[in-house]
Amino acid sequence: MSKTDITKAEGDLYLENLTKSFGDFTAVDDLSLQVPQGSFFALLGPSGCGKTTTLRMVAGLEAPTAGRIRIGDADITYEKPYRRPVNTVFQNYALFPHMDIQENVGFGLKRRGIKDVDAQVADALKLIQLEQVAKRKPTQLSGGQQQRVALARAIVNRPAVLLLDEPLGALDLKLRRQMQLELKRIQTEVGLTFIHVTHDQEEAMTMADTVAVMNNGIIEQMGPPTELYESPRTAFVANFLGQSNLFPAKVSGVDGDNVVLEDSDGRFLMPKNRVADGVNLSSGSSVLVGVRPEKINIGPLDPGQEPPSHGNYVDGVVEAASFLGVSTQYEVRTAGGDAISVFAQNLDVHGLMPVASQVRLTWLPLHGFVLDGHEDINAGVESELVVG
């Protein structure tokens, strides 16, 4: 492969300081990331955060205001869309209505001058298990079938990078779960780099090797799903991926490997390695303490009860309890005034704690995390409602 033949470029995808402005509105702001070749990469963020704009720049349908896009060594920043080894599954599929499924899927191959496309098209249709609809028109297919045809139409070209813009967004929940597995299977089978854009955190976490959480045109945090979930670095990530209890506290000192924190409900210990990068740990500086609801242990408060040995506990009153079968969700108001959610597994240890009863919440130090005190506690919370 000659280094100048961009249409055959391969390797990791690099976005370097990519910026896109529409007038004085910056949709994508100095965004940099690397997507390893062959990985399943998810770009996760709420509606309007710049995901589609980012994809369109990679596809060549939008010219960046600044920054570079590379595949391996090849700079494709200003390359025409039809010269890039990149294909897109559009948000609304964009199947060609005047062509049948076979012609749709074979379109890209034919444009690249491949004469006999039938075998490859048949293979692609087999991959998505839709051989039987080859001669139908797109409007004669269901939403899920159209979605798979759009996928086949892109995959058949074996691009270096496949872009999927909320490909499952229009499907109902059941079909979406099914297609998630399907997509994952296909990606593993063909081994292409997938960049999957979604606003559904569950979808991103189940499917992707790496998730980049995007907000307001920037990447908030990037990493494997477990890392993002267990060690969020910003309040937005903590709230957008799953749920978090966040409450403000002050650093009162450092004790060996632990940081000692104080809030209206008392003192907490946090291992230093649970503190997000760049958080000021000097005494008196304010931070946010975070604990996931399922990591909190809840029990009735007995008079004279000893505090746990690690010292991380708060006492409070149950304000609401909803029994969900596998678990019970509690809303607890602490003595210091914070509201804390708790998911208690139904182990039948304590029975159901009624509303207005006194409870004690405890958690292991390594189950919490510490964020910068300037973070907005409610960042990313509203977006939770979008998740299906």
Partner 1 sequence: MSTDTATKPPVGVRVRSWFGDNALKFYAVIAFAYLLLPVAYTFVFSFNDAGRTNIVWQGFTLDNWKNPCGAPQVCESVVNSIVLALGVTIMSTILGTLIAFALVRYQFRGRGTTNLTIFLPMATPEVVLGSSLLALFLNIFVPLGFWTVFIAHVMFCISFVVVTVKARLASLDPRLEQAAMDLYANEREAFRRITLPLVAPGIAAAALLAFSLSFDDFIITNFNSGQFTTFPKFVYVSATRGIPAQANVIASAMFFIALALVLVSQIRNMRRKEA
Kindly list the residues in this chain that would bind ligand ADP in the complex (CB under 6 A): 22, 27, 45, 47-53
Residue 29 Cβ, how far from partner 1 at the closest point, in Å? 24
Query: Which one of Mg ion, ligand ADP, partner 1, none interacts with residue 147, CB within 5 to 8 A by kind?
Result: none
Residues 79-97: b if buried by 16+ CB within 10 A, e if exposed: beeeebbbbbbbbebebee
Q: What are phi and psi of 215, to 5 degrees?
A: -150, 130
Asked whether position 22 contacts partner 1 by CB under 8 A, the answer is no
Binding site for Mg ion (CB under 5 A): 52
Query: Which one of partner 1, ligand ADP, Mg ion, none interacts with residue 41, CB within 5 to 8 A by kind?
Result: none
Angle separating helix axes 118-127 and 173-190, nearest 10 degrees = 130
| Dist. CA 60–CA 306, nearest whole Å | 63
Query: Which one of ligand ADP, partner 1, Mg ion, none interacts with residue 146, CB within 5 to 8 A by kind?
Result: none
Residue 112 Cβ, how far from partner 1 at the closest point, in Å? 5
The footprint of partner 1 on residues 72-131 (CB under 8 A) is 80-82, 86-88, 90, 92, 94-98, 107-108, 111-112
Q: Closest CB to ligand ADP belongs to which residue?
A: 52
| Dist. CA 74–CA 93, nearest whole Å | 28
Half-sphere exposure for 251 (CA within 13 Å, toward CB)? 22
Q: What are phi and psi of 369, to 5 degrees?
A: -145, 155
- C-beta of 84 vs 274, nearer to partner 1: 84
Question: Residue written as tokens 């809030």?
Answer: 263
* Pairing state between β 161-165 and 86-89: parallel
Query: Which one of Mg ion, ligand ADP, partner 1, none interacts with residue 53, CB within 5 to 8 A by kind?
Result: ligand ADP
Single residue of 61, 66, 320, 349 touching partner 1 by CB under 8 A: 61
Contact in structure between 69 and 16 (CB atoms under 8 Å): yes
Report the interface residues with partner 1, using CB under 8 A.
59-61, 80-82, 86-88, 90, 92, 94-98, 107-108, 111-112, 153-154, 157
